[in-house]
Structure 1
Amino acid sequence: MMTDAPDPPAPSADPDPPSEPSPSSLLHPRREAFEYGLLPIPKLVFTDPIQTLAPLKQKLASKSPARRVDSASLADALQISADHAKLVLDTLSSVLHSDSDPFVRARADEVDSVGADVRDLVLFLYIQSYKKLLPRPHKDSASVADVWPSTSAFDGYLSALSPLQLVRSNSRRFMPSQADEEAHQLSYLQKHLANMISLLAEPSEGEGEESQVLTIEHFEHLGLLIQFGDKESEGIPLSQAAPFFANSDPDMPAVPVPVAQVHDWLLQNITTALEHISERVSPKENGPSNTSDQDVAMSDASTTLAKPAVSPRGPCFIEGISKSSLVKQASDLKGSSLKVLNCHDSVIYILAPLRYVTVYGCSDATIVLGAVGKAVRVEHCERVHVIVAAKRVCIANCRECIFYLGVNQQPLIVGDNHKLQVAPYNTFYSQLEEHLAEAGIEVNINKWDEPLTQGVVDPHDSISHPAGVSDAQAESAARLDPDQFTNFLIPNWLGGESAGSTKDNPFPLPAAYMESQQRNRNNLEEIKQALRNTPLVENRKRELSSALHVYFKDWLYASGNIRQLYCLQGD
């Protein structure tokens, strides 16, 4: 009779729960670490991460009783430059999962002195071996020409590219879907999970080195890479999702758990998550998917999902805007991450505080990003003006773009860039200062003119590259000539949902740009006064007015400011 007792629960768990688990019970990769945390520094891409990082962790931990690592210690341990070590810490700070960590709360100029937790650092260094999913080539080359400018100052340059580079240039704008990326990241974690857990484990007391355990505190550090729940930045704490740590008494430390038990439980959850993704993607629409991880291209795993304006979990999307303007304020955006994709010849205003923003595949557009507290990535854009106030910004594979920056960390420029310019932040709207404060951006620290450039090849690309290419220096960005600097006016009716305190650009302008602005104002006043003082008969006034209109129209088109007039058009 007793043997019948286990049978009833089995049917109740039968088909539906595995295929439709509740959102809060599903494991997800923390995409921020993979999308904004990978650095194009070949010395950080280890062929055997565990063999390198296990002794590195011991070495760094032995130097600091608090298990905190500064850039000098990191540079010495990895034999990298001080700039690269500082870049590692700044980047880790921007993708760390716990906002309560003092490393995340530190001011921009205090990150190094606070130092990174060595356990977060080794996990962050481990994923530098991750290979990105290969973008899916588009079937119709004509449609590529429709959305990517067919005429470019670099047509001659492109014609000299190798066939592999040409394929890449034609397919670069077609990003893998969110489901593809999540499956690829989960597969990577599935393959490397045992090594990652071993980096956090400790020997069990009295049972020898081979029997390792994981404490609740060490287990929580896996939150850098995985999470539960449907919040796109912070899920529920890992320890609350794990049955072996859930509901543990904060006043009484939870008993450490054997590594094998943690590994088996996480693997089971990753498998469930991969099955859920596979069921979400229609085989009829997307063809068979392959979510096994080979740390390589995985072109067979590529699927295409229609991207919603807001996905159930993950970032909001602004996609395919052409020859128009778009305004998004805080109430329009659900979540704290945003992707602006494939927008052309438009003006896009994002007047809201966010954590992460990606701008990808845009051309001939002006994009205003109000306050981004973690990181911005701008990739594969051409002739775009980006106006952004952010903690940090990464620019990759862009052409003829101008970046008006209010940034607390050095702008990172990577990949194959051409004719980029940087300038100080040049706009404001009524709620900007409130949004900057909410995002934790300091207006008295602006490193807009200190770009840090890396190699032309990203070691995380799935495409192989000729030997030695990764050592080539990327083209940096030039400072915009102060005489070419102008303020960007955001129309009053777009300034915010309610009145704010911001009356001017909160980022102080460098002297050369301030003087140029003053000269322009003085010149304008002189011209206006001269016109007032010039006696003209009526027909001469009309001729002058007509000539001014023609020159103004020519200037609008030549400068790209004609796009701002899209705001005056009706929807």
Structure 2
Amino acid sequence: MTDAVEPSTSAREPNPNAILHPRREPFEHGLLQIPKLIFTDPVQALTPLKLKFASSTSLRVDSATLAEAFQISPDHARLVLDTLASVLHSESDPLVKARPDEVDSVGADLRDLILFLYIQSYKKLLPRSHSSASAAVADVWPSTSAFDGFLSALSPLQFVRCNNRRFMPSQADEEVHQLSYLQKHLANILSLLAEPTEGEGDESLVLTMEGFEHLGFLIQFGERGYEGIPLSQAAPFFANSDPDMPAVPVPASHIHDWLKQSLASALEHITERISAKENGPSSGSDQDVAMTDACPSSIKATPSARGLCFIEGISKSSYVKQAPDLRGSSVKVINCHDSVIYILGPMRYATVCGCSDTTIVLGAVGKAVRVEHCERVHVIMATKRVCIANCRECVFFLGVNQRPLMVGDNHKLQVAPYNTFYAQLEEHMAEVGIETSINRWDEPLALGVVDPHDSLSHPAGVSDAQAESATHLDPDQFTNFLIPNWFEGELPGSTKDNPFPLPDLYSASQQRNLKNLDEIKQMLREAPLEENRKRELSCALHVYFKDWLYASGNIRQLYCLQGE
């Protein structure tokens, strides 16, 4: 048992500029469609797991223990650990540092795991409606169409039609929703982190400084919106603790009261910002991010104060973003169509949402990628993990260290090995911890069709349906994707070829195509043609190539590259 005392009166007051924010990563990249882990009563479901480790010297849980505790498969238990590792707040946690073959032996910290499992009950924010556009909203949300089949969910085409800043939740809208969720569940969350002590009533549960720090999985404090203030420094409870002595535990009720006030202040602050935006001048962009990039025409590349870069609304264009603009950032590519987008740098997270007929190259994503509500996109990515949801007729060229996750209403998806490179790629991959020796592109893992985290009601019997997986791209259709070197000499790098080894079938097909090309070139060179016939043949080849450029849309990319 531990004894609780009143917090020291010498502890400093919280920084008045420090504003509480929810950590968006667990809510955006940490929700899994595993029905057995979505609890009606999270406290009742998770308390036995907590009690099991109460007398243990180790507070780390491996996948076998997790599978047994919740009656899930070993694959799903391992998926939980991998997903948790990708959204943890502490880069020093052994699970984050573990190599793939070490994950089970390292296990997850019990307190982080409890918080991760608790928020599996979170319901995501739905698109908002506007009375002035009720007809347009009714046309796409949430009614079904032939394109939807029997599911009450947005198809990619419908999503594209309503995916704009009038209807889609802004980052501020989502933050309000997450803050409200945390406010509602705060007492339960603290009770699961707290430890019993001598006392009665509210004083019988305490939080140690270490337990309190684990709340950093869900919340963070930022000074005027910027990240970087450790949780214990933003609170009055543990700030003056002697580093050589264990901090005195604090009654959970005191921490609850302080966090409740902080959540209320944060909600008030962000609600005022949303109200100011809605009542202010009409604008196509969110005012919860700062427009600091100078961007051509309709293109929006919007870096926010909290390390989130929006690239949205790109249409019939090519667009390039380089490493100096991306270090430490998370990137969202939203509502882009008929374009080619290069994001060539190290990132923590990336989201691609509501895009169609577009090729997107993601440099090195160290945590996770999510692709959702897209149609006919080609996404080339080097990442640790990827989740693909509600996409149709898309091809994914993957260099991925974990099994690709397929969820939702997917149709006609294809996966293939990674197929490109740029000069700095291997340095960026090493910076974010992607291993070139592991590529699990051909092992997709399909979960459910229906997302239990949305707020829609779904037809009976659909909830247990398994999502459609992806087929392998025919090796004969596999080609390398060439990234132009716009900045040759300015950004030197050591990568000279695709860093992920190609499987034999794809490598053989590639060699066969190169051999055929060489043979055709040789035949043309040796063809016994008169000079005027050679000129006619050359002109005919140019005409066919030009026709192909126009028919495929690649002529636009040439024009854009010419203007770089």
TM-score (normalised: structure 1) = 0.86
SS of residue paired to 1:471: coil
- The answer for the alignment partner of 1:126 in structure 2 is 118
2:184 to 168, 177, 191: 191
Distance 2:89 2:497 in 1: 34
TM-fit CA distance, 1:563 = 5.3
Task: Specify whether residues 61 and 518 from structure 1 end up closer, same or farther in structure 2 by C-alpha distance, changes over 3 A only.
Answer: farther
Alpha-carbon deviations, 1:341-395, whole Å to 9, x = none?
Answer: 1111111111110101111111111111110000111111111110100010111
Instruction: Specify the code of the residue in structure 1 equivalent to 2:115.
Output: L
Contact 1:429 1:496 survives alignment (8 Å): no
Show the 5 A alignment for 1:249-264: 249-264=242-257
Rounded to whole Å, the distance in 1 between the matches of 2:110 and 2:226 is 22
CA-CA distance at 1:552 after TM superposition: 2.3
Query: Percent identity of the aligned residues?
Result: 75
How much has 1:137 moved relative to structure 2?
A: 4.4
Check the 8 A contact 1:427/1:487 in 2, yes or no.
yes
The answer to whether the Cα contact below 8 Å between 1:38 and 1:128 also exists between their aligned partners in 2 is yes
Query: How far is 1:161 from its partner?
Result: 5.2
Change in CA separation of 1:142 and 1:189 when aligned onto 2, cut-off 3 Å: closer
Contact map agreement 1:456 1:470 (CA 8 A) in 2: yes
2:74 paired with 1:85: no
Deviation at 1:450, TM superposition (A): 0.5
Cα gap change, 1:557/1:496 in structure 2, threshold over 3 Å: closer, same or farther?
Answer: farther
**SS at structure 2 position matched to 1:447:** coil
What's the secondary structure of 2:356's corresponding residue? coil
1:368-383 paired onto structure 2 within 5 Å: 368-383=361-376
Distance 2:478 2:337 in 1: 23
Paired residue for 1:468, among 461, 465, 474?
Answer: 461
Q: Deviations over 1:95-129 (max 9, x none)?
A: 00000011111112322221000110011000000
Following superposition of structure 1 onto structure 2, how do residues 44-123 of structure 1 map, counting pairs within 5 Å? Answer: 44-60=37-53, 65-123=57-115
Give the counterpart letter for 1:285 in structure 2.
Answer: E
More off after superposition, 461-470 vs 405-414:
461-470
Paired AA for residue 26 in structure 1? I
Deviations 1:266-299 (A, max 9, x none): 1110011001001112357269xxxxxxxxxxxx
Q: What is the count of residue pairs matched by the alignment?
A: 527
1:269 to 2:262 alignment: yes
Counterpart Cα distance in 1 of 2:186 and 2:355: 36
1:232 and 1:349, CA in 2 relative to 1: closer, same or farther beyond 3 A?
farther
Q: Is the 8 A contact 1:410 1:448 kept in 2?
A: yes
Other-structure match for 2:11: none
Q: 2:277–2:287: 8 Å Cα contact kept in structure 1?
A: no
2:471 corresponding residue in structure 1: 478
Farther off after superposition, 244-253 or 396-405: 244-253
Q: Kindly state the Cα deviation for residue 46 of structure 1 after the two structures are TM-superposed.
A: 0.4
Q: Deviations over 1:525-566 (max 9, x none)?
A: 100000010021233223322322233234445556445425
Q: 1:22–1:508: structure 2 CA closer, same or farther, 3 Å change rule?
A: farther
Q: 5+ residue gaps in structure 1?
A: 1-17, 149-154, 288-302
The residue that corresponds to 1:501 in the other structure is: 494
SS of 1:367 mapped into structure 2? strand
- Compute the displacement of 1:312 (Å): 2.2
Q: Distance in 1 between matches of 2:148 and 2:231?
A: 51
Residue in structure 1 matching 2:401, options 397, 400, 408: 408
Counterpart pick for 2:335 among 324, 342, 357: 342
1:201 is matched with which residue?
A: 194
- The equivalent residue for 2:387 is 394
Change (3 A) 1:159 1:342: closer
Which stretch of structure 1 is more off in the superposition, 42-51 or 207-216?
A: 207-216
Give the Å deviation of 1:222: 0.6
**Structure 1 CA distance for aligned equivalents of residues 394 and 168 of structure 2:** 21
Letter in 1 for 2:320: V
Q: Which letter does structure 1 place at the counterpart of 2:95?
A: F
Matched, 1:327 2:320: yes
Paired letter, 1:552? F
Deviation at 1:236, TM superposition (A): 1.9
Which of 2, 22, 26 is the equivalent residue of 2:19? 26
Matched, 1:158 2:147: yes
Greater shift, 317-326 or 129-138, is seen at: 129-138
Give the match's secondary structure for 2:117. helix
Report if the CA contact (8 A) 2:152-2:456 is conserved. no
Looking at structure 1, the residues matched to 483 and 21 of structure 2 have their Cα atoms a distance apart, in angstroms, of: 38
Q: Label 1:203 to 1:383 Cα distance change in 2 as closer, same or farther (>3 A).
A: same
**1:533 alignment partner in structure 2:** 526
- Aligned in 2, Cα 1:495/1:66: closer, same or farther, shift over 3 Å? farther
2:343 maps to 1:357: no
Secondary structure, aligned partner of 2:316: coil
- Contact in 1 for aligned 2:125/2:169 (Cα 8 Å): yes
| CA distance in structure 1 between the aligned counterparts of 2:510 and 2:367, rounded to whole angstroms | 31
CA contact (8 A) 1:316 1:334 kept: no
Tell me how far apart the structure 2 counterparts of residues 495 and 200 of structure 1 sit (CA, whole Å): 53
1:14 maps to which residue? none
Cα distance, 1:56 vs structure 2: 1.9
| Equivalent residues of 2:320, 2:341 under 8 A apart | yes
Give the equivalent residue in structure 1 for 2:509. 516
* Counterpart residue identity of residue 79, structure 1: Q
Q: Structure 2 regions of 5+ residues with no counterpart?
A: 1-13, 292-301
- In the alignment, is the contact (CA less than 8 A) between 1:431 and 1:496 conserved in 2? no
Equivalent in 476, 485, 488 of residue 481 of structure 2: 488
Instruction: Name the SS for the 1:355 alignment partner.
Output: strand
Q: Which moved more, 1:488-497 or 1:96-105?
A: 488-497
- SS of the residue corresponding to residue 463 of structure 2 reads helix
Contact 2:351/2:370 (<8 A) preserved: yes
Does the CA contact (< 8 Å) of 1:395 and 1:412 recur in 2? yes
- Distance in structure 2 (CA, Å) of the matches to 1:231 and 1:215: 28
Question: Residues 160, 83 of structure 1: CA spacing in aligned structure 2 closer, same or farther, 3 A cutoff?
Answer: closer
SS at match of 1:441: coil
Assess if the C-alpha contact under 8 Å between 1:388 and 1:404 holds in 2: yes
- Paired residues of 1:286 and 1:304 also in contact (CA < 8 A): no
| DSSP 3-state at the match of 1:438 | helix
- Aligned counterparts of 1:563 and 1:398: Cα–Cα separation in 2: 25
Aligned mates of 1:68, 1:566 — CA distance in 2: 55
Give yes or no for the alignment of 1:238 onto 2:231. Answer: yes
Q: How far off is 1:253 after superposition?
A: 0.9
Of residues 223-232 and 179-188 in structure 1, the stretch that sits farther from structure 2 once superposed is 223-232
1:47 Cα deviation (Å)?
Answer: 0.4
In structure 1, what is the Cα distance between the partners aligned to 2:225 and 2:59?
29
Q: Find the residue that maps to 1:403 and give its secondary structure.
A: strand
- The separation in 2 between residues aligned to 1:222 and 1:390, in whole angstroms, is 27
Contact between 2:315 and 2:336, CA under 8 Å: does it hold in 1? Answer: yes
